């Protein structure tokens, strides 16, 4: 098999988690024949991705192919920072806002999107990074789910743009919307660092990061790799959500990340026909937690069918909703600005 034929087969192999081939990404460093055997040299540093690609290359070229690895020339800085003295992998952003929650399903991504758009409406340059790698919902919520990654002439990833903000999500890298990312945490962390360093964000006033729920590797890594200006925590009034957000609050306090405030989502429901209020998930939980941990309560957002519909349609309510719906998020943004400016 000639080198040209080998290269043609390798062009069909996609890098794990990206809709781009290993040839396009210049991962293939060299192809040569050694003692009658094909030798493919890959230039990369990620152990798990190397193992996955080795299996794919053997499937394409046969088990007798020899696969070598060269990582020194293109190796990124992997000296992680410390939460007391974090690195700054986003020097282009004046302020970094981390939006997180103790548990999933409380509306964290909805708050991230609308907070970002509300800040842009105030005249700030805003980037939104979807760091929830296992449940990347941001593309749907901002109407960019149909888009795929693009690279510019500087070999930088071009972020999507909509509603006045720049957007990057791992959801834009998968071949289809239902492709699962079966990644170990080390791979997920590597992908997020790439999105911080290899995306053409431009100069930003705010980089808003939609964190995954919980208190795991992603939260710790972001606190080590970025000087986070403030964390915004999202909860519902339900006791199980309050238990989990309490843990998230204590985590940020322990790792010295300033807390910008708490948002209570799904606070109550107003029946559209009777106008009667129903406290479906309980009442006063957010106020109690804010008081207990001495953090600001930035806002209380009710269960609103319009907010849900706008979000599912990719049109953020802070941009497309009525005056009341816009007001929920504009008020939160203004209170946060008072804390961080």
- Comparing CA positions, the residue from 16, 242, 233, 208 lying closest to residue 95 is 208
What share of the chain in percent tops pLDDT 90? Answer: 69
- 74 within a domain of the structure (yes/no): no
**pLDDT reported for residue 78:** 55
Mean pLDDT across the stretch 39-59?
A: 86
Residue 162 and residue 212 in one domain:
yes
Strands (E) across the chain are located at 28-34, 37-42, 66-69, 93-101, 126-130, 150-151, 157-158, 160-162, 165-169, 204-210, 230-235, 259-270, 277-278, 297-303
Residue 132 and residue 31 in one domain:
no
Contact 328, 295 (CB under 8 A): no
Over the stretch 1-28, which tens digit does the pLDDT of each residue have?
788 889 899 999 998 877 788 988 888 9
Range of the domain at 13: 3-69
**pLDDT reported for residue 79:** 66
Residue 100 and residue 31 in one domain:
no
Both tokens of residue 317?
């309510």
- 87 within a domain of the structure (yes/no): no
Residue 146 and residue 265 in one domain:
yes
Helices first, then strands: H and E counts in the chain: 11, 14
Residue 125 and residue 263 in one domain:
yes
- 195 within a domain of the structure (yes/no): yes
Residue 80: strand, helix, or coil: coil
User: What does the alpha-carbon distance between residue 116 and residue 94 come to, in Å, rounded to a whole number?
Assistant: 14
Q: What is the pTM of this model?
A: 0.80
- 333 within a domain of the structure (yes/no): yes
Residue 24 and residue 152 in one domain:
no
Residue 268 in this model has a pLDDT that exceeds 90 = yes
Q: How many domains are contained in the chain?
A: 2
Over the stretch 102-127, which tens digit does the pLDDT of each residue have?
999 999 999 999 999 999 999 999 99
- 80 within a domain of the structure (yes/no): no
Residue 28 and residue 130 in one domain:
no
Task: Give the pLDDT band of residue 73 (cuts 50, 70, 90).
Answer: very low
- 82 within a domain of the structure (yes/no): no
Q: What's the mean per-residue pLDDT of the chain? A: 91
- Checking DSSP bridges between strand 165-169 and strand 126-130, what pairing results, if any? parallel
Q: Residue 117: give its domain's CATH number.
A: 3.40.50.300
Residue 134 and residue 56 in one domain:
no
- 81 within a domain of the structure (yes/no): no
- 278 within a domain of the structure (yes/no): yes
Residue 13 and residue 111 in one domain:
no
């Amino acid at each position: 098999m000639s080198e040209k034929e080998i290269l043609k087969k390798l062009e069909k192999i996609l890098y794990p988690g990206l809709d781009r081939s290993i040839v396009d990404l210049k991962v293939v460093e060299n192809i040569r024949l050694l003692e009658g055997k094909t030798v493919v040299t890959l230039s990369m540093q990620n152990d798990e991705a190397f193992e996955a690609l080795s299996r794919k290359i053997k499937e394409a070229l046969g088990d007798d192919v020899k696969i070598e690895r060269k990582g020194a020339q293109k190796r990124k800085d992997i000296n992680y920072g410390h939460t007391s003295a974090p690195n700054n992998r986003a020097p282009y952003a004046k302020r970094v806002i981390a939006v997180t929650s103790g548990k999933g399903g409380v509306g964290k991504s909805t708050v991230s999107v609308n907070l970002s758009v509300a800040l842009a409406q105030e005249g700030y340059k805003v980037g939104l990074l979807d760091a929830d790698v296992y449940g990347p919902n941001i593309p749907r919520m901002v109407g960019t789910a149909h888009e795929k990654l693009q690279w510019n002439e500087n070999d930088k990833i071009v972020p999507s743009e909509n509603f006045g903000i720049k957007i990057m999500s791992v959801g834009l890298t998968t071949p289809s919307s239902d492709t699962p990312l079966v990644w170990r945490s080390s791979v997920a962390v590597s992908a997020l660092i790439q999105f911080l360093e290899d995306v053409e964000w431009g100069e930003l006033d705010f980089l808003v990061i939609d964190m995954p729920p919980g208190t795991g590797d992603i939260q710790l890594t972001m606190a080590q790799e970025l000087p986070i200006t403030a964390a915004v925590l999202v909860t519902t009034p339900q006791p199980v959500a309050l238990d989990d957000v309490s843990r998230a609050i204590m985590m940020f306090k322990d790792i010295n990340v300033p807390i910008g405030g708490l948002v209570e989502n799904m606070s109550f429901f107003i029946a559209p026909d009777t106008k009667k209020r129903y406290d479906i998930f309980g009442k006063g939980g957010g106020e109690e937690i804010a008081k207990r941990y001495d953090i600001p309560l930035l806002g209380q957002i009710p269960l609103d069918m319009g907010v849900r519909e706008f979000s599912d349609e990719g049109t953020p309510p802070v941009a497309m909703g009525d005056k009341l719906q816009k007001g929920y998020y504009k008020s939160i943004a203004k209170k946060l600005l008072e804390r961080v400016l």
